Amino acid sequence: MGAMFAGHGELWELVLLVAKLFFSTGLLIWAKILIQRRKHHVADQGKSPLLSLSTMMPQPPAPVDATKMGVGRAIAVLTSGGDAQGMNAAVRATVRVGLYTGAKVFFVHEGYQGLVDGGDNIRPASWESVSMMLQLGGTVIGSARCQDFRTKEGRAKAACNLVKLGITNLCVIGGDGSLTGANQFRTEWSELLAILVKAGKITADEAKRSSHLNIVGMVGSIDNDFCGTDMTIGTDSALHRIMEVVDAITTTAQSHQRTFILEVMGRHCGYLALVTALACGADWVFIPEMPPDEGWEEHLCRRLMETRGRGSRLNVIIVAEGAMDRHGKPITSDNIKNKLGYDTRATILGHVQRGGTPSAFDRILGSRMGVEAVMALLEATPETPACVVSLSGNMAVRLPLMECVQVTKDVTTAMAEGRFDDAVKLRGKSFENNWNTYKLLAHVHLPEVKTNINIAIVNVGAPCAGMNAAVRSAVRIGILQGHHMLAVHDGFEGLAQGLIEPIDWAKVGGWTGKGGSMLGTKRTLPGKMVEEMSLTIAKFNIHGLVIIGGFEAFAGGLELVKAREKYEELCIPMVIIPATVSNNVPGSDFSIGADTALNTITMTCDRIKQSAAGTKRRVFIIETMGGYCGYLATMAGLASGADAAYIFEDAFNIHDLEINVEHLVEKMKTTVKRGLILRNEGCNPKLHN
């Protein structure tokens, strides 16, 4: 890779600099220590686990010994409400970070019911007890609806159980109802202690030692219905399950020219339905936040006829289970089916959406939130309000719990009062942007007046999942603006050779679910072809160029910009969309294709870990792609629970390898007799073997 960019030293150095800064201060700090290679002492085990979550949190300005932050403290973790994939990752991270800080950590089995019943439902957690949890769906420690906790008597029993074990820190993973209950529990804590002392259930000294309760929440909900966070734990995995069904249904629908209606979960929130519709290019979506206008039945039938008239062999309609019309009357899949004249099939996905293995995103999200939750608990004071750990952009942040709960309730109120625009805005910018994007890409309102602007789209570099979706989006947005869109085949070579043709709205239909590059792509840089490319641009009267690709797209774009001094035809607007599995380009936290590649690696690691579990005392080493960028190796290591990840950005030597071998030897003496190591392909050329 370095040789390929020998002529672009400045750009290559810039990317290396950006990558190193990113790996040292951003998202990857969270992963580095989870899979780090240093020996750490765990207070309650007296062992030196290979995995450590210690500095997944950015270090505070003042020097703090993280291994002593939790000494003398006790933390309990429970899952409540509906289960969601990724909850186990959050539990695992909470346990291991808590143990690392020197705190005692307890599982609370069966949610609030276990908290009320006490006894064997509240058990000490160990480092090994959370091994092999990452790839499991649902919640290993169980969840249950609890009427007892809704009463003060039940909450008093729960408080008594915690006081007897010295637990004054509670981490709750659940929905808004579970978190609201946790906040009420904290608010009443002093009153509950007084009741217990008066009844002789606890002593005054015990009450004094447990004078306040710290609460931190993490939102586990596949519906993504909690305001204040961009994503809740479980949402991404649910979308994966839904898209698997959509892909399977699409093939049979095309064969028979049918219309399929898919009903997905989302009683009060249409996020799953909306993003599914956006991802699969659905013809229509029904969500509770924005009911269709009056006369939607005729509009829907007209839309389906138009798409069939443009050559489409199938129609897909997505409906959230809580969808309704402007008068609050439910819109179900059967209602829609009865109003259509086509050969129509309806499928209700149900609890399939909750099941299965969590995606890499949810594992990483749960892990990061678990780390932040423990730190929030240990840093809390009696005056600190209950907080919820949320995702904002690409960072885990702490927000006031009840403020987020209130905004979530405001959405429901807005929908009940018919203020649907307000409901969409209250859901947050991410939801609002998805809604606006869907309307642009799916609702055809072609302009009557065309412009004279020709925009060309080219794919450059290695193909990756999502490239075709980007092309589809660019083509349709351009057409909606009245521009003429041109498809360039085979990368920069195709641009030089004039392999260009017009591309229309119908041509890109169904491209969202197709992998690779439908336009064709090559790694070749402009190089000596610049003159031919300028002639092609002049010949086809191209006024703008959209380049979709990875590092080659950036390097090639830079060459074209530099060549403007000699070729005036190149003095046109150029836009680069990052698309590479390596996620190694500057200016973006994520690039197209990286998430799909990460999920593929994580799934492979899961299978290898299963093999290792069946064959004791075996270590597997997996090499990932990425050139000189360790993003895939690091994130896959975090998502799969690897023992170590070797990357280019984090230099290592023979001594580091020796330390890791010693750790693995010690690990084989425990009940966890297996090892998994990831290495980035360019991590250390001198130590390749």
Q: Which residues are catalytic?
A: 223
Buried residues in 181-205 as b, exposed as e (16+ CB within 10 A): bbbbbbebbeebbebbbeeebbeee
- Cβ burial, residue 446 (10 Å; 0-12/13-18/19+): exposed
Q: Assign residue 347 a region (left: φ > 0; alpha: ψ between -120 and 50; beta: otherwise).
A: beta
Provide the 3-class DSSP secondary structure of residue 611. Answer: helix
DSSP tag of 151: S
Provide the 3-class DSSP secondary structure of residue 638. Answer: helix
319 forms beta bridges with 263, 286
Helices assigned H by DSSP within 587-653: 594-614, 631-640
Contact between 269 and 225 under an 8 Å Cβ cutoff? The reply is: yes
Secondary structure (DSSP) of 289-310: TBPPPTTHHHHHHHHHHHHHHT
Give the whole-angstrom CA distance, residue 390 versus residue 402: 13
Nearest to 246 by CA among 355, 347, 350, 356: 347
Cα dist. 541→24, 480, 500, 527 in Å? 45, 20, 12, 22
384: which residues sit within 8 A by CB, 6+ positions away? 214
153: which residues sit within 8 A by CB, 6+ positions away? none
Start-to-end C-alpha separation, the chain: 19
Provide the 3-class DSSP secondary structure of residue 421. Answer: helix
Torsion of CA 261, 265, 267, 271, to 10 degrees: -90
Give the whole-angstrom CA distance, residue 637 versus residue 365: 14
Main-chain dihedrals φ then ψ at residue 284, nearest 5 degrees: -155, 150
Cα dist. 36→56, 281, 349, 624, 657 in Å? 10, 41, 40, 18, 12
**Strand order across the beta sheet in which 674-680 lies:** 618-624, 674-680, 644-646
Give the whole-angstrom CA distance, residue 151 versus residue 29: 43
In the chain, the largest separation of any two C-alpha atoms, in whole Å, equals 91
Neighbours of 564 (CB within 10 A): 14
Strand bridging mode 104-108 / 122-124: antiparallel
Contact between 93 and 366 under an 8 Å Cβ cutoff? The reply is: yes
Main-chain dihedrals φ then ψ at residue 131, nearest 5 degrees: -70, 145
| Pair of tokens at residue 286 | 């029904």
CA-CA-CA-CA torsion sign (434, 592, 261, 477): positive
Q: At what angle do helices 152-165 and 176-187 cross, to 10 degrees?
A: 70
